[in-house]
């Protein structure tokens, strides 16, 4: 791992940052001291954040943290009444932000739209009144199966406004995956669209939704946005066209004043085993944590335009909407693929819309690198001042390419990591600290994070389990309808300790790194290695664009490493190259970690937000059943693995 530190901080940028202003307000001498104080006195920190960021309450809370049921079931801001929508929309309407642009949208076909805070306020109110006209009330679940459109954010906010529960569903899911989530939540209504554009093709969502609804008897109404105007199946009495749904509804609607622990979202994570888990998030906890992250981690200011390349079915979609609007910023949504119709589509949007904060995954960066620097150089992307990244570990080469070739050394990469159940980040870079390539900086503020060995002892300089020892506001309030699974999954290994399932390490300089999921960890003759460590070596080779490493059964060592490599243009899969790559891993990591073989393929299975699905690679290699491929965007890659084997 590279040792050099970068972004030692342009003095003015650090001095002007939100977190630096917070430190001054509380007379904290340096950032390291702030981290320690926020961990040792979490009630002070979250109370201070709530007040500093201007979170508004209908009824003030009486107690910051209540752990009488144990930290596993911690309750936050007890006695208070609040609503996410008041803090994201309502409170801005009587300020200068009334006519400020809140959301910019671009479709893959080039359409654009802009909505002010007043536009959002009025349309959210009409949508909320539409929900109430169908009998939806506080505590009812409402599904949202839509692409990244303005109406997707509007539906989210309208659901929260009336105290109903938002059930986000990834726009690329198939019928069975959609139905399982709607049924688990007992959703009464589904928002969807006729379709959307993806890589120049039409994705017909309504047909997929109808197939799911044939297995979801609790859903009584479907609100359909006609994004494309294509012919779609229609069920009279159940299906309602979006604009008819909000037509003649009042533009003013009462925002429900809810107890702080009221659930506002159940978002599902599939994990690596078992049925999807519904993580429960609350109005107060999610709001306060997201506002803090948007303010202190990515340093969003009033003039910023935030574009996190994501889907509303992933945690970063709600993260962007709630945190960004609570801070009064401007959001950017994009419907399609970042490299369509040409590899410069992303950079074109940055230039045209003057995007300032860009959230992007390492896999997406690796894919864009393959196209070459000339696609970047033809655009003015000087508006960028900050990168965000999450979802998977980095490799040094793409990290440096983003830092140098895209950010020109002036934009810090705010690498962060948490999870759907975390509702936030455990680890994060902050813009007041130097960067180390691929690092996650250290614990996020207010998060008492550690790395444990097998005996629950802190480990430094080696790899261990990432854990959290104290509660935080954004944590899930359990798994929907399955409290025992929640305890077993996250709190069952060590007493009063959340075990997240990430493999982490802290180096001698105090910088934290992730090495992949601990359930992806490869154990060879008793020695553990994270797949990301092997993959970093692979992609350091001039010929390799992407790589995936898996562990497979081995009679002698217990497990052996098998690597899959995607080559850069101009390089051919040869036996000589295979041997070179095996030797490179062996020389870099040691002979005991020499790969058993390297397979060449043209693509790796990924989710739409570009996470590599190693468990699918492993299952395909071992000839095991892959029960649910709904999260895989490029299904043909699974066939490629079979052919490579």
189-213 pLDDT, tens per residue?
A: 999 999 999 999 999 999 999 999 9
More confident residue, 298 or 558: 298
Predicted local confidence at residue 272, as pLDDT:
44
Q: What are phi and psi of 100, to 5 degrees?
A: -80, 145
Task: Please give the Cα distance from 416 to 426 (Å, whole number).
Answer: 8
- DSSP letter at 479 equals B
pLDDT at 573: 94
What is the assigned CATH class of domain 521-644? alpha beta
pLDDT at 555 over 50: yes
CA distance 205 to 614: 27
pLDDT of the residue at 270: 64
Residue 168 near residue 313 (C-beta atoms within 8 A): yes
Indicate the SS3 state at residue 549. strand
Q: Judge whether residue 2 has pLDDT over 60.
A: no
Residue 408: what pLDDT?
93
The DSSP letter of residue 565 is E
pLDDT, tens digit, 9 for 90 and up, residues 49-58: 999 999 999 9
What would you measure as the largest C-alpha separation in the chain, in angstroms? 72
- Alpha-carbon gap, residue 536 to 579, rounded angstroms: 17
Enumerate the domain spans of the chain. Answer: 521-644
Helix (H, G, I), strand (E, B), or coil: what is residue 416?
strand
C-alpha 581/C-alpha 570 separation (Å) is 17
Question: Average of pLDDT values for 536-561?
Answer: 88
> Residue 524 — pLDDT band, cuts 50, 70, 90?
confident
């Amino acid at each position: 791992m590279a040792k050099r530190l970068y972004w030692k901080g342009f003095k003015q940028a650090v001095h002007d940052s939100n977190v630096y202003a917070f430190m001054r307000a509380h007379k904290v001498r340096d950032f390291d001291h702030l981290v320690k104080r926020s961990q040792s006195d979490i009630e002070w920190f979250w109370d201070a954040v709530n007040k500093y960021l201007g979170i508004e309450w209908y009824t003030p809370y009486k107690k910051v943290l209540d752990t009488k049921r144990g930290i596993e079931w911690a309750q936050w801001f007890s006695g208070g009444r609040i609503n996410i929508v008041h803090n994201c929309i309502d409170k801005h309407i009587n300020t200068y932000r009334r006519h400020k642009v809140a959301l910019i949208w671009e479709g893959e076909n080039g359409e654009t739209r802009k909505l002010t805070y007043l536009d959002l306020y009025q349309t959210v109110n009409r949508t909320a009144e539409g929900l109430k006209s169908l009998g939806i009330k506080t505590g009812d679940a409402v599904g949202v199966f839509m692409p990244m459109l303005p109406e997707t954010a509007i539906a989210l906010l309208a659901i929260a406004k009336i105290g109903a529960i938002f059930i986000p569903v990834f726009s690329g899911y198939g019928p069975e995956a959609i139905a399982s989530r709607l049924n688990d939540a007992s959703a009464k209504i589904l928002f969807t669209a006729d379709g959307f554009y993806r890589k120049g093709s039409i994705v017909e969502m309504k047909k997929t939704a109808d197939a799911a609804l044939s297995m979801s008897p609790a859903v009584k109404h479907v609100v359909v946005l006609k994004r494309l105007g294509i012919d779609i199946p229609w069920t009279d009495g159940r299906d309602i066209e979006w604009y008819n749904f909000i037509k003649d509804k009042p533009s003013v609607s009462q925002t429900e004043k809810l107890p702080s622990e009221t659930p506002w979202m159940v978002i599902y994570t599939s994990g690596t085993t078992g049925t999807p888990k519904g993580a429960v998030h609350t109005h107060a906890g999610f709001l306060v944590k997201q506002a803090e992250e948007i303010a202190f981690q990515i340093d969003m200011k009033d003039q910023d335009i935030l574009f996190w390349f994501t889907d509303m079915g992933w945690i970063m979609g709600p993260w962007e909407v709630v945190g960004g609007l609570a801070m009064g910023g401007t959001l950017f949504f994009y419907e399609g693929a970042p490299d369509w119709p040409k590899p410069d589509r992303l950079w074109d949007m940055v230039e045209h819309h003057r995007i300032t904060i860009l959230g992007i995954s390492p896999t997406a960066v690796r894919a864009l690198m393959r196209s070459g620097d000339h696609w970047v150089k033809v655009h003015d992307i000087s508006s960028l001042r900050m990168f965000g990244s999450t979802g998977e570990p980095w490799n040094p080469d793409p990290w440096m390419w983003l830092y140098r070739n895209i950010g020109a050394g002036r934009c810090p990469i705010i690498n962060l990591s948490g999870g759907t159940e975390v509702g936030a980040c455990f680890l994060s870079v902050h813009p007041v600290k130097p960067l180390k390539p691929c690092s996650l900086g250290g614990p996020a503020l207010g998060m008492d994070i550690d790395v444990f060995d097998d005996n629950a002892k802190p480990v430094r300089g080696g790899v261990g389990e990432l854990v959290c020892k104290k509660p935080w506001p954004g944590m899930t309030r359990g798994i929907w309808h399955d409290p025992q699974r929640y305890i077993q999954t996250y709190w069952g290994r060590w007493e009063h300790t959340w075990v997240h399932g990430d493999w982490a390490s802290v180096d001698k300089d105090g910088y934290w790194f992730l090495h992949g999921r601990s359930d992806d960890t490869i154990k060879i003759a008793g020695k553990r290695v994270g797949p990301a460590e092997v993959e970093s070596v692979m992609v350091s080779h001039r010929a390799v664009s992407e790589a995936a490493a898996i562990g497979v059964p081995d009679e002698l060592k217990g497990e052996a490493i098998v690597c899959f490599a995607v080559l850069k243009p101009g390089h051919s899969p040869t036996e000589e190259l295979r041997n070179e790559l095996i030797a490179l891993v062996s020389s870099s990591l040691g002979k005991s970690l020499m790969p058993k073989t390297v397979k060449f393929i043209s693509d790796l299975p990924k989710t739409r937000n570009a996470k590599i699905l190693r468990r699918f690679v492993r299952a395909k290699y071992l000839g095991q059943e892959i029960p649910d491929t709904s999260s895989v965007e490029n299904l043909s890659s699974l066939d490629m693995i079979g052919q490579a084997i």
